[in-house]
Structure 1
Amino acid sequence: MSERRRTVIRAEDGTVSITGPSAGPAFTQAVLDVAGAVLTWPVLGPTGLPTAEIHDVGQAQQWLWAVYGEHTAAAVDALAPGTPAAELAPPERPTALAENAARLALGHWASRWWPASYLDGIPSLEPGLLGLELAALTHECQQLLDESGESEGIELLEEHLDALDPLIRWRRSLDPPHQLDHMLRLIDDAADNAGLDGEALRRLRSALEQDHHTPTATPLDVSELFVRQRAFALAAGGLRTATDRVIARGSGTNDWCRFPPGFVDASENAVSWTAYAPGAGRRIEIEVVADIAAPAAGVHLAAEVHVDGGPPSRVPLSRQDDVWIGGSDLDLSSSTTPRIEVGILLPGFDPGPGADDRAVREAVRALARRRLSVAATPHDRTASHPAPFLAEIAAAAAMEEDF
């Protein structure tokens, strides 16, 4: 099958698949729940039309033609169960709805999988700023969505109203991003449609009524627009005594799928462990660099420790300053060098260890660095480097100061 063509298949249970690029691990997929279906784009692959898993063909017909074209929409409606349709050519150029949907899905991916890392020099994205842009994109993509999808956009807007005032100031600056005015007008329209009101929204409406081509006289320091947590001392805890003998040390696996976003620095080197010999005993101590936004109390990560390929044991971790730390006694032979494997998880959230995706995680880090580079050089953006999110522009502006 060519990269541009799609095959439509209806299963015996009535669900319909529109095939597309093969998917990798969850953190390389941009996923969007739409009316009657789930759409998926590969984050690391070329942008284009998504793969679709359609569970309600009737609902999906409200947007299928506008994303895949009339021929594909007709094929989905007419296809008999178990029969693949002929390969179908999508529109020569993605429609505006398809492009907006891909951007919305990528924004949701960034809110979940952006590889923020102090160790790797990849700044986090301001959640309020990203949330408002997602709310605006959700409103722009309302043809795709059912009531629950539209409600999610309104909830994002209500949750992040505090970020509106900095955006209004940014709009009045000497050189605001070109998409900012359009985004704010979408937010105003979405709020109006939902019947939302409040001081922040009234200030937005007043600002939009004014001439946005009249900037402030002073250039704006974008890095100061949003409250950012810059202090990150990396002060590790100390559980051992000076007389403990080190018998082994190493790095653990930082599997992003095993804990929610915002808990652990995304670096491959964020997890470290040391095995000690305190007298005749054996003990392991584990340190994990926390994400800047990691919860300070109430929720606890755990380390999963395998010794010489044996069954796993759990070591509770607690947050202390900017690290998660914990320790446990080990059952080791004193005459051998142990083979120890350590992974990090959140009990109750963990889906289980996946494949060793270190190379794929590095590809995601490389993607984030490229996007930040484009965000930092607005005049160099091309079709192959689409407009970054406002949160990426703000993060790029703050990189030098933060890192």
Structure 2
Amino acid sequence: MAPGHVDVRVARGADGTIRIDAGPGLRRVEAYGDAVAAGPAFTRAVLDVAGAVLTWPVLGDPGMPSAEVHDAGRAQQWVWALYGERVAAAVHDCAAGQAGHADARVTAEVTALAGAAARLGLGHWAARWWPTSYADGIPALEPDLLGLELAALTHRCQQLFDDEGDQPDDCVDQLIEEHRAALDPLIQWWRATPQSADAARQLEGVLRLIDDAADSAGLDGPALRHLHSSLEGRGPGAAPVDLGALFARRAGYALAAGEQLVTGGRVIARGSGVNDWRRYPPGFVDATENAVSWTARALGTLRRIEVEALADPAAPTTGIPLVAEVQVNGGGPHRVPLTRRDDLWTGHSDLSSDLPAGVSAPRIEVGVLLPGFDPGPGTPGESDGRAERDAVRALARRRLAVAARPPAYDASPHGSCSAPFLAETAATATDEDY
């Protein structure tokens, strides 16, 4: 993030919440926990910090975050370091209820913490919303590699967090423990990279932050001891490594490998459903727009619908109650259980009561969701998110294209928000046919 200044608005709401708005004017407002931001949830990065929630747009320049401050006392430990002293003073005055300070425009400083926090927020966004798609040619990000870089970034941004235990993004020790399997491959990558290369500096920076974070958290184990000893004395460079082999992922699959559920019968209608990423966890369904398809058949007097959804290669094969939600001619939703078969989620259900024999051109809407996780289909008149999903896919392709190129002399520093994550660089080295 380039040095400079940004005008922000600091305002206190009727409930005492203080909003720091660093973005353009809000469009339709959608709630995300304590945060308020424009557009679908997958178009913004969100970070829970001490006394507040920070949000950034991911489509376009993330810039400075907006903030919903619900505890100004706790937030003051980082507001000055993130936005500068003038914003910190405005937040203090708003919280104190001083006359004339309930709504103020002040100039924020673009600080080093702001840049690191933006990158951390984007990393959490990538872990949740990265549009992995075999059909669209967008490879997955290796989760252990991304998790370790998130651990490093979280440690770098510790000023944003406190010890109250209500900030799920303050999870350095959990990230290291959960993703330590990538430590040895990461060390191999670093040792095989020429010390003069920008990638070597990025790799070493991540490894040193992880080492320091593990030491601070009292973590131990062979992988962490190997990390510490490697950093103590790197020695001569190792032989070049194949990143695709170091961070191997599950192979691709044929798109037409699913089992046909019903044979025979007359096809009444067929079409594509809505693939709303918000309605199921990451890694369940291929992120392509046309991942969900359906066919309505007449089998004598019986009316049946079959649903198929392209599975993400990492999707679990058992124990997941993924369902298709079917609506016929504007009627109530009907849920169809889906089962993982090879590369597809498949299921079928009787629709005789919803689809009488005399109906020749039914209007059928189909979506896929995980009960208990699904926030709902949205409100009437709300955009279905197709344009925003297309924009996210375009963003992923741009970032992968940058990651695949040797860094230019004027490239963004590796710690900036626009610089590729290590997992993005590794994804471009895969041999899979994405």
TM-score range, shorter chain: over 0.9
1:382 equivalent to 2:415? Answer no
Q: How many residues align?
A: 395
Please state how far the C-alpha of 1:392 moved relative to its aligned partner: 0.4
* Residues 340 and 185 of structure 1, relative CA distance in 2, 3 Å threshold: same
324-333 or 57-66, larger mean C-alpha shift: 324-333
Aligned to 2:16: 14
1:59 equivalent to 2:83? Answer no
Q: Please state whether the residue corresponding to 1:208 is helix, strand or coil.
A: helix
Please state how far the C-alpha of 1:348 moved relative to its aligned partner: 1.3
Aligned to 1:219: 240
Q: Distance in 2 between matches of 1:360 and 1:159?
A: 31
1:159 equivalent to 2:174? Answer no
Q: State whether residues 300 and 319 of structure 1, in contact with CA within 8 Å, keep that contact through their aligned partners in structure 2.
A: no
> Which of structure 1's runs of 4+ aligned residues deviate more than 3 A?
81-85, 148-151
1:60-93 Cα deviation digits (max 9, x unpaired): 11111111110110011012279533311112xx
Q: Please state whether the residue corresponding to 2:42 is helix, strand or coil.
A: helix
Partner letter of residue 189 of structure 1?
A: D
Aligned to 2:107: 89
1:344 equivalent to 2:368? Answer yes
Please state how far the C-alpha of 1:385 moved relative to its aligned partner: 8.0
Match of 1:273 among 274, 291, 294: 294
Please state how far the C-alpha of 1:151 moved relative to its aligned partner: 5.2
Aligned to 1:394: 426
Q: State whether residues 254 and 271 of structure 1, in contact with CA within 8 Å, keep that contact through their aligned partners in structure 2.
A: yes
Please state how far the C-alpha of 1:137 moved relative to its aligned partner: 0.4
Q: State whether residues 374 and 385 of structure 1, in contact with CA within 8 Å, keep that contact through their aligned partners in structure 2.
A: no
Q: Distance in 1 between matches of 2:159 and 2:139?
A: 34
Q: Distance in 2 between matches of 1:299 and 1:122?
A: 24
Aligned to 1:118: 134
1:362 equivalent to 2:364? Answer no
1:66-121 Cα deviation digits (max 9, x unpaired): 11110110011012279533311112xx2111100000000000000000011111
Aligned to 2:30: none
Q: Distance in 2 between matches of 1:346 and 1:197?
A: 37
1:283 equivalent to 2:304? Answer yes
Q: Distance in 2 between matches of 1:183 and 1:107?
A: 13
State TM-score, norm by structure 1.
0.94
Q: Distance in 1 between matches of 2:90 and 2:98?
A: 12
Aligned to 1:192: 215
Q: State whether residues 7 and 84 of structure 1, in contact with CA within 8 Å, keep that contact through their aligned partners in structure 2.
A: no
- Extract unaligned runs of 5+ from structure 2: 27-37
Aligned to 1:28: 43
Q: Distance in 2 between matches of 1:42 and 1:124?
A: 22
Q: Distance in 2 between matches of 1:53 and 1:181?
A: 34
Q: Please state whether the residue corresponding to 2:336 is helix, strand or coil.
A: strand
Q: Please state whether the residue corresponding to 1:63 is helix, strand or coil.
A: helix
1:330-354 Cα deviation digits (max 9, x unpaired): 2323342111110111111111113
State TM-score, norm by structure 2.
0.87
1:6-43 Cα deviation digits (max 9, x unpaired): 11111233221111323211001100111111000001
Q: State whether residues 51 and 74 of structure 2, in contact with CA within 8 Å, keep that contact through their aligned partners in structure 1.
A: yes
Q: Please state whether the residue corresponding to 2:6 is helix, strand or coil.
A: coil
Q: State whether residues 118 and 417 of structure 2, in contact with CA within 8 Å, keep that contact through their aligned partners in structure 1.
A: no
Partner letter of residue 356 of structure 1?
A: D
Q: Distance in 2 between matches of 1:391 and 1:259?
A: 23
341-350 or 225-234, larger mean C-alpha shift: 225-234
Partner letter of residue 280 of structure 1?
A: T
Partner letter of residue 284 of structure 2?
A: F
Aligned to 1:142: 158
Please state how far the C-alpha of 1:47 moved relative to its aligned partner: 2.2
Partner letter of residue 181 of structure 1?
A: E
Q: Distance in 1 between matches of 2:159 and 2:80?
A: 11
Q: Distance in 1 between matches of 2:6 and 2:160?
A: 22
Please state how far the C-alpha of 1:219 moved relative to its aligned partner: 2.2
Q: Distance in 2 between matches of 1:162 and 1:349?
A: 28
Q: Distance in 1 between matches of 2:219 and 2:81?
A: 29
1:209 equivalent to 2:224? Answer no
Q: State whether residues 309 and 346 of structure 2, in contact with CA within 8 Å, keep that contact through their aligned partners in structure 1.
A: yes
Q: Distance in 2 between matches of 1:44 and 1:136?
A: 24
Q: Please state whether the residue corresponding to 1:232 is helix, strand or coil.
A: coil
Q: Distance in 2 between matches of 1:52 and 1:300?
A: 36
Match of 1:37 among 33, 46, 52: 52
Q: Distance in 1 between matches of 2:278 and 2:193?
A: 41
Compute the RMSD of aligned alpha carbons: 1.8
Aligned to 1:261: 282
124-133 or 328-337, larger mean C-alpha shift: 328-337
Aligned to 1:308: 329
Partner letter of residue 106 of structure 2?
A: L
1:174 equivalent to 2:202? Answer no
Identity of aligned residues (%): 62
**Larger strand fraction of residues:** 2
